[in-house]
Structure 1
Amino acid sequence: MPSVIETIDVDVPVSVAYNQWTQFEEFPKFLDEVESITQPTDTLTVWVVKVGTVERTFEAEITEQHPDERVAWTSTGGEVDHAGVVTFHKLSESTSRVSVQLDWEPKGLLEKLGATLGVDNHAIKKDLRNFKKYIESKGTAEGAWRPDNYR
């Protein structure tokens, strides 16, 4: 299973970066291949992604979510088999590091070839640059996920 790890520094506080990242339904604003995401429960997301002319739908279960630190998930059904984690690191009061690790199973010849050529790394890097541009231009998150027991 190929693994992709990419990191970017963003000029917003760690809480702003984390808060925006937990607004999954807003992902199409900065992730190019994401057509839509719905979140029917606190831990279940339903994704529609389109790469080239291929559209895929899958569910992902949030397996771990710690405010201002990390969000982890794994796919649970549909046409995509993957798992990942995003971590958030405070570099200063106004700068954060966002790291994405994604493990996925390419299907079909084109996806296997793309993984071999590093297309997935380039896509994640581009999406992180889009996230940086998006959140820095706003300066604030569109919402936040904070569990009741978080202090």
Structure 2
Amino acid sequence: MADVSVAVDAAVPARVAYDQWTRFEEFPDFMPTVLAFDHPDELSLKWTLLDATGRRQTMEAEITEQVPGERISWRGTNGDFAGIVTFRPTGDATCRITLQHSTFPEGDMGQFGDQPGLEKERTRDNLVSFKKHVEAAWTTPD
């Protein structure tokens, strides 16, 4: 099993970051590893992405928990990965975003287990891309 945990601090309120994260369909606009996204129903997610080895993958997941403004967790429909993203206030207009995920060797996503350093770097790059996107999109209230 490969476990990855990455955190970044963003200059936006936690609720703003959470709200932006739930706009999954926008991920291909700012995350280079996400090629396409589909949201078949309220709890289902389907991503087309480049995996840690540069191969095109389809990842299907279901949302297992969603606490507005705080966290979203998911698991792969084949049971081969799971994750959670949390949004914690660090000030009036700042927050810490933490993305944690695990992949299991027996599943389709198991190749990450052989390259945990590469997957952590890729996850950090994606989270930094998200941070830049949400900060650029947010306008400070007057």
TM-score greater than 0.5 by the shorter chain: yes
1:121 alignment partner, SS class: helix
Matched residues in 2 for 1:110 and 1:15: separation?
Answer: 34
Q: How does 1:102-141 map to 2 (within 5 A)?
A: 102-106=101-105, 111-115=112-116, 118-139=117-138
Matched residues in 2 for 1:48 and 1:72: separation?
Answer: 19
Superimposed CA distance per residue, residues 36-91 of structure 1 (whole angstroms, 9 cap, x where no aligned partner): 111111100111112355111121000000001100000104xx921000001011
Residue 59 of structure 1 corresponds to which residue in structure 2? 60
One-letter amino acid of the counterpart of residue 125, structure 2:
K
RMSD (CA atoms): 2.0
Q: Is the 8 Å Cα contact of residues 4 and 120 (structure 2) preserved in structure 1?
A: yes
Residue 76 of structure 2 corresponds to which residue in structure 1? 75
The answer to whether residue 93 in structure 2 is matched with residue 94 in structure 1 is yes
The two structures have a TM-score, normalised by structure 1, of 0.82
Matched residues in 2 for 1:98 and 1:109: separation?
Answer: 25
Residue 15 of structure 2 corresponds to which residue in structure 1? 15
Aligned length: 136
Structure 2 gap segments, 5+ residues each: none
Evaluate the alpha carbon distance shift between residue 108 and residue 69 of structure 1 in structure 2; reply closer, same or farther with a 3 A threshold.
closer
Superimposed CA distance per residue, residues 6-29 of structure 1 (whole angstroms, 9 cap, x where no aligned partner): 000100111110000011111112
1:119 alignment partner, SS class: helix
Q: How does 1:34-53 map to 2 (within 5 A)?
A: 34-51=34-51, 53=54
Residue 24 of structure 1 corresponds to which residue in structure 2? 24
